[in-house]
Amino acid sequence: MTYKRKDGRKLDELRPISAKVGVIPNADGSAIFQSGKTIAIAAVYGPRKMHPQHQQDPTKGKLRCTYNMMSFSVTDRIRPGINRRSTEISKITEWALDPVLMLENYPNKVVDVFINIIQADAGTRCAGINAAAMALAHAGIPMKNIVTSVSAGKMDKTLVLDLDKYEDSEFKEGEGSTDIPITMTPDGKITHFQLDGKISAKQLNEIIDMAQKACKEIYEIQKKALKDSIEEKQ
């Protein structure tokens, strides 16, 4: 039996997306990215002097990401502050973005990216990465490319794109379930990949193909948001 999605989406269909840059005037760059009911806002500050000083790198600037889920972002209030999950996602976000950044000309400096999840309905790390990539470009940070992130899952034998929270919970309970967030450049270079569970090489290739197609769609939305902001300024 093929898996029927509760919201009526096709197996390889994204949730409705909206994106906008320049949403926080005081930041050097900012963006909001919404996928279904998941909303992420990213604000970029810098390049500015790295503090604490012992973390300064005289050979290049550093990217520092801080991912945070607002206490009101889920139905049951989350205790505010850093936790194990947010620390992990902050690191992963840095690794996903770092390969496209060109920070060689900013020794001893840091580029701070603050990602806040205003509303969470699964896929928050991907939404955060998408918002952060747009905010970095909006801040004028030199980049080789932008990155785009999406999550795909496997429920037994069925592959599904961009899970929402309902599906994510259902998948986690199902046997052989897997959720795979992937981040890539528009030309298909993968900068981030997380696999929690088991998957065959064949299905993995199918997942990557599905994610690649989806990332192309998301990339167009990111690009349009950046272009719109330039046109608004003129």
Nearest to ligand ADP of 78, 199 (CB atom): 78
96 binds ligand ADP (CB under 6 A): no
> Could you tell me the smallest distance in angstroms from the CB atom of residue 109 to ligand ADP?
29
Residue 225, both tokens: 């948001």
Tokens (6 digits) for 196: 């929690």
- According to DSSP, the residues that pair with 27 across neighbouring strands are none
Compute CA distances 36 → 2, 14, 17, 189, whole Å: 23, 9, 6, 26
Chain residues 61-90 in contact with ligand ADP, contact rule CB under 6 A? 74, 76, 78, 85
Q: How long, in residues, is the chain? A: 234
Q: How many residues bind ligand ADP (CB under 6 A)?
A: 12
Distance CA 109, CA 128 (A): 23
3-state secondary structure of 54: helix
Question: Which residue lies nearer to ligand ADP by CB, 110 or 132?
Answer: 132
Q: Which of 112, 123, 138, 147 binds ligand ADP (CB under 6 A)?
A: 123
Residues 155-174, interacting with ligand ADP (CB under 6 A): 165, 168
Residues in the site for ligand ADP, rule: CB under 6 A?
Answer: 74, 76, 78, 85, 120-125, 165, 168
